[in-house]
Structure 1
Amino acid sequence: MLRFVLVLLIWTWTSSALVRIPLRRMPTIRTQLRTQGQLSEFLKDHRPDMFNRRYAQCYPPGTPSLRLGRSSEKIYNFMDAQFYGDISLGTPEQNFSVVFDTGSSDLWVPSSYCVSQACALHRRFKAFESSTFHHDGRMFGIHYGSGHLLGVMARDTLKVGALTALNQEFGESVYEPGAAFVMAKFDGVLGLGYPSLAEILGNPVFDNMLAQKTVEEPVFSFYLSRKGGDRDPQGELLLGGTDETLYTGSINWLPVTAKGYWQIKMDSVAVQGMSSFCPQGCQAIVDTGTSLIAGPTNDVLSLQQLIGASPTNIGEFLIDCARLSSLPHVTFVLGGKEYTLTAEHYVRKEMFGDRELCFSGFQAVDIVTSDGPLWILGDVFLTEFYSIFDRGQDRVGFALAKHPAAE
């Protein structure tokens, strides 16, 4: 009987310490726009320079996030975001779907006072219905790669799975111009980066959970499946630890080199073991909010040529679907360990009418920092490798993800 009680206590402790957040894979904004024949026009209208000129007069003078150069600092690419999960805010609970994004640090959802078309198509936070709501009064602006939002600050009770964070600071978006957020399948974003990355003053969600001791360990981890549909799980965020059943082999740990993004040192990138990029080492960030793998323009354009990808007139790169088995492997070396992607891993397949199109999973993005240009390891990489984010020891871990044989 005593053994049974001990087992029950251990099971109760572990089940409360680790909280699983199911993630759903949804069509990206880019895919939706392409299907509707609107992608080219959208990309033209949402270039940061044109977008700023068109909408700058709609914001209060001196809005920090509209300053020249700010758009290049925020690299969250919601056009290609695929994995969303659920949270709730307020008392009683109001539910929202969000991107759990390691490439940003803010939490925001649409407000019931929002005047933009995008908000009308998404769930909106009703402050007046929550008994635990606290008005803040500060304004904020966040400039993402292809969109900009403005809002007001608030505090309320947040629930993520079985975890509760009291007095969580978040943004209520009141203005989301342009068409970007209209197409989004998610309501808002929950950032999991370091506090220094936040536009909104105050503790990011995971920091608040750590301060309130709602997670047993200062660790969270991601598993992303290769396929959508009815597979279970399509993806999973685990708060408070890791799940050994979702990966195989040992974990390779890399220290965080700059505490903003989850930034690490990458030893090199090679195509078929021959052509090496950043041979002296370079910096990379691990970003669940970006679907693709991104790098400096010159390197990525050379890489596209080596994998046989041809440019389109809107900046994407197409690959002949019949040639996938003959395409070279691309290997990332991290902490002395090789992480190899085959063409089946780095090519994105989409149906356009009755045709299957194959797109390169690499894109050119120039992000210059004091440590040099950054590479971005997005979901194309993270689908193949289980990722662990350790705030206690400021490190990122990778292990080979387990995928069903059918995938």
Structure 2
Amino acid sequence: MKWAIVLCAVVALSECIIQVPLIKGKSARESLEEQGLWNEYRGKFPFNPTRFDDQSLYVSSEQMTNDADLAYFGVISIGTPPQSFTVIFDTGSSNLWIPSVYCSSAACANHKRFNPSLSSTFKNAGKSLSIQYGTGSMTGFEGFDTVVVGGIPVKNQIFGLSQSEAPFMAHMKADGILGLAYPRLAASQATPVFDNMMTQHLVNQDMFSVYLTRNSAVGSMVTFGGVDTNHYSGQIAWIPLSSQMYWQITVDSVTVNGQIVACNGGCQAIVDTGTSNIVGPQADISSMARAVGAHSANGDNVVNCNNINNMPSMVFHIHGQAFTLPASTYVRQVCVCLCVCVCVCLW
């Protein structure tokens, strides 16, 4: 599921506000479901959530969650003259990478590929890159070039050029990923795009905000250098980070009908624009599902679509404040085809 969120690292004032429209497209999972291939795919590439205590995150590779539900992406360009690519603006990772002409994987064959020989400003960094996913990996090498985000050139930006990609990337609309987490999470110690924006004084304030619409509606936006007041009402709730690697916070508890169903005594969580799921320990997820009347079916938590209006809200208690999610925000209605097409609701 998605929230309209604000993520901030407030430091200083500078030049301008940059806005990049985001497209709500079909996710890899939705495409596979329409073809009746999702269960087969999930069996071959089982889900493996991020382990936040994995010490390997601090060195040469970066673990990420299965991103089969990614759906929001925007356009950037790289090189001189510019070559355009669609990327997911992902707060759950820190590297920028795109397919390259040196990649022969199926995922590269149906996406745009960067050709460094066509850019007069490209420089090879002379370093390899490997990013581990829950369902595979991306491998390649790193280079430097000008990256244009929202019309603003970020000079000498390091990025990855893939030479091989995991099979599931072939089903995604976006070409690559632009990570917005902290440098500490970046593979090969690469400097993230937003950190270079701040260093090069390209933004009005050292903050960015993300607004995500629902149900394929237009208007999704990532704003660098401020917050678009058209996308919220009331006061912004500022939540302190518990760690500066992911956008990591402390959740006090999760309740349904006033009863604690998860995070009893507090737990750690990350705010991740790169996934549409609530991910957590199996015991907590099962408890949350039971509390809202969901049952397990073929690896998913399923509810009766006719009951959505009568299902209870789920409340996340964070930093002394309550954030209420009605059932309409945590249930996804999807049509799947087996012998016939039917609609079910997934929690």
Scaled by the length of structure 2, the TM-score of the pair is 0.89
- Quote the residue 2:286 is aligned against: 301
Q: Distance in 2 between matches of 1:20 and 1:39?
A: 34
Counterpart for residue 65 of structure 2: 76
Q: How does 1:374-393 map to 2 (within 5 A)?
A: none
Q: d(CA) in 2 for partners of 1:297 and 1:183?
A: 27
| Residue equivalent to 2:7 | none
Aligned to 1:237: 222
Q: Find the residue that maps to 1:255 and give its secondary structure.
A: coil
From the superposition, tell whether residues 220 and 279 of structure 1 become closer, same or farther in structure 2 (CA, over 3 Å): same
Q: Is residue 199 of structure 2 the alignment partner of residue 211 of structure 1? A: yes
CA-based RMSD of the aligned residues comes to: 2.2
Q: Distance in 2 between matches of 1:329 and 1:240?
A: 33
Show the 5 A alignment for 1:6-45. 17-45=16-44
- Structure 2: runs of 5+ lacking an equivalent: 1-12, 49-53
Q: Is 1:131 matched up with 2:120?
A: yes
Query: Residue 62 of structure 2 contacts residue 186 of structure 2 at CA under 8 Å; is this kept in 1?
Result: no
Equivalent in the alignment of 1:4 = none
1:17 counterpart SS class:
coil
Could you give the per-residue CA deviations for residues 181-240 of structure 1, whole angstroms, max 9, x where no partner exists?
A: 111111000000000101132311111111111112110001111121xx431x100000
User: Which stretch of the first structure deviates more once superposed, 91-100 or 72-81?
Assistant: 72-81
Matches within 5 A, 1:10-159: 17-47=16-46, 74-159=63-148
Say if 1:266 and 1:332, in contact at 8 Å, map to a contact too: yes
Deviation at 1:168, TM superposition (A): 0.3
Instruction: Report the Cα distance in structure 2 between the residues aligned to 1:136 and 1:48, rounded to whole angstroms.
Output: 33
CA distance in structure 1 between the aligned counterparts of 2:276 and 2:188, rounded to whole angstroms? 24
Residues matched between the structures, number: 324
Are positions 1:357 and 2:344 aligned together? yes
Matched, 1:257 2:242: yes
Q: Secondary structure at the match of 2:64?
A: coil
- For 1:26 and 1:102, locate their aligned partners in 2 and report how far apart those are by CA, in whole Å: 18
Alignment partner, residue 225 of structure 1: 213
CA offsets, 1:347-396, max 9 Å, x none? 01123355322100xxxxxxxxxxxxxxxxxxxxxxxxxxxxxxxxxxxx
| 8 Å Cα contact 1:113/1:174 also seen in 2 | yes
State the secondary structure of the residue aligned to 2:21.
strand
Q: Which amino acid aligns with 1:85?
A: G
Secondary structure of 1:153's counterpart equals strand
SS at match of 2:43: helix
1:339 aligns to what SS in structure 2? strand
**Structure 1 unaligned spans of 5+:** 1-13, 50-64, 361-407
Shift of 1:137: 1.7
- Determine the structure 1 residue equivalent to 2:329: 345
Find the residue that maps to 1:167 and give its secondary structure. strand
Q: Distance in 1 between matches of 2:179 and 2:320?
A: 29
Q: Which has the larger radius of gyration?
A: 1
Helix, strand or coil: the match of 2:80?
coil
> How far did 1:264 drift?
0.8
1:284 is matched by which residue type in structure 2?
A: A
Asked if structure 2 preserves the Cα contact closer than 8 Å seen for 1:87 and 1:158, the reply is: yes
**Per-residue deviation at 1:251?**
0.9
Tell me, yes or no, if structure 1 residue 316 matches structure 2 residue 300: yes
Give the Cα separation in 2 of the matches to 1:183 and 1:168.
27
Checking the alignment, whether the CA contact within 8 Å between 1:83 and 1:99 is kept in structure 2 is yes
Residues 48 and 249 of structure 1: CA distance in aligned 2, closer, same or farther (over 3 Å) = closer
Q: What is the aligned-residue identity percentage?
A: 41
Letter in 2 for 1:337: Q
C-alpha distance in structure 2 between counterparts of 1:157 and 1:169, whole Å: 9
Structure 1 residue runs of 4+, over 6 Å off?
none
Question: For 1:247-295, what per-residue CA distance to the aligned partner results, in whole angstroms no more than 9, with x for missing partners?
Answer: 0110111111111100011111001222342232211110000111112
TM-score (norm 1): 0.76
Deviations 1:15-40 (A, max 9, x none): x6111110111111111111111112
Q: Which whole-Å deviations, capped at 9, do the CAs of 1:117-153 have from their partners, x for residues lacking one?
A: 1111000000000000001121111011212111011
* Contact 1:151–1:174 (Cα < 8 Å) also in 2: yes
